[in-house]
Amino acid sequence: MPEAALPSPPLLRRGPSPAEGGGRARILAALLLTLLAPLLAPRAARAEIEPGDLTLTVTAELNGNSAPFPREMVLLKIHGVYRQPILLEEVVQPSLANFSWTQLGRDHWSKAKLPDGQSAIAFDRTVAVFPHHAGQFTIEPFTHKLTVNDVGERRVVEVRSTPIPFPVTPWTAPTGGPDVPEPWWLPARDVAITDSWSPDPETVKVGETTRRIVTLEAQGMVAEGLPPRPVMRTRGIITFAGPVTRETLLTPSGPVARATYQWDVKPGVPEIIPLDAIAIPWFDTGTRTMRETEIPARQIGGGLPDRATDRAPPPIPSPLVVAGAALAAFGLGLALIGFGLGRPRLRLSGPARRALRATARAGDPAGFRASLDAAMREAPDLARIWRARPDLAAAFAALDRSVFGAGGAGGPDLPALARALSRSEPVAAEPGPDRLAPLDGPAR
């Protein structure tokens, strides 16, 4: 009997092969990693500030490329270059012990181009420092606290400069210097003086007042370092000192200090009053040498009338006024002849006066004697007048004994002698025949 056909089993769904299952798992894992990559990225993958992106340097600009003396100004140039955008900033300055200091102007921010072509932000600040005394010092680091935007997050970074050595040399010259109270220590690149009067001092009469304004400008200095108001005093005048104004002007080449001194001057005697020049020594920071400038000498009274009066048309006088003026002129002529007023005066030149004052301040009798010889050769008429004065003749003799004598004889007061020789002297009237001859003619 044939075998009965068995019913075929139902069809079963075949599962994936091991190879096919592994491929799908890899695809799902790749998709999952792609979606979660931003969340699973490590913090080290965030953009970081690289070395050289933020730099801060401090440079000391030395005058004449030499170590400064005490109280001499030195500029500190603080310069920062930052590649990162700056949100907030603060400069923390070191204590600057042994220095006085002042910031010159405001901080300056600008765009800068780096050597590699990238753009950056530049920061600049200028600080003037004044060492108190000599020694070996160090400018400690400046710190610039910066708040930067680092991939959407605020981050505070401290950028520090490197310390720099700062030697201050002592003053070794025999005279002057920062530690001597007189004369005033004035280190500068250049010094200029402007002298103005209103009205002209030569036109001022007894009881009238003229105002003198002297402006002193020093390059490479701040106003606080300028000297106090000079003393202007001489016989025959009354002076009223006015206020002193000071200001510091900022220029591309550095600060310029300006001081303005003011006096009201009133003559108290009718004679011509000479005002001696006022010497102001200063230290040239470029050449590292002492120099001298001066407030010029002037004369009060004895000049021409005011120029405004000269320009006005002269009024037509009446006959009586003409007669009175003639008599007054005749009497004035007699007075001038009798009292010697109106005679010309002689005075040494400015360089000769400065040479005498310089050697007198230095306490150098030999140098003073050489300057005096040069002055006498320059002005022989003045030399004759000096020798005829007993006080000056005695001073000259004492000077010769101190220079040429043995045993170190004491000399005269050189500053006082220099002041006496710097004053103007009236020209002596030349001897001649009687000014008025007898009415019947000259005597036979």
At 354-397, the pLDDT tens digits run 888 888 887 888 888 888 888 888 888 888 888 888 888 888 88
DSSP 68: P
Over the stretch 138-171, which tens digit does the pLDDT of each residue have? Answer: 999 999 999 988 777 888 999 999 999 999 999 9
Query: What pLDDT is stored for residue 407 in this prediction?
Result: 57
Q: Are 146 and 156 in contact (CB under 8 A)?
A: yes
C-alpha distances in Å from residue 20, one per residue of 14, 24, 25, 41, 212: 12, 7, 9, 31, 109
Q: Using alpha carbons only, how large is the chain's radius of gyration in Å?
A: 43
Average pLDDT, whole number, for the chain? 80
Distance CA 159, CA 123 (A): 12
Given the structure tokens 């002596």, which residue do they identify?
A: 428
Query: What pLDDT is stored for residue 159 in this prediction?
Result: 95
Cα torsion 84, 85, 88, 93 to 10°: value is 40
Query: What pLDDT is stored for residue 126 in this prediction?
Result: 95
Q: Which regions in the chain score pLDDT beneath 50?
A: 1-15, 18, 36-47, 305-311, 336-342, 431-444
Is the pTM value of this prediction over 0.75? Answer: no
Query: What pLDDT is stored for residue 128 in this prediction?
Result: 94
b/e sequence 340-363, b meaning 16+ C-beta within 10 Å: eeeeeeebbeeebbbbbbbbbbee
Helix 350-361 crosses helix 414-422 at what angle (to 10 degrees)?
A: 170
C-alpha distances in Å from residue 139, one per residue of 97, 98, 166, 199, 372: 9, 10, 7, 52, 49
Query: What pLDDT is stored for residue 152 in this prediction?
Result: 77
Supply φ then ψ for residue 329, to 5 degrees. Answer: -65, -40
Residue 382: its H or E element: helix 380-388
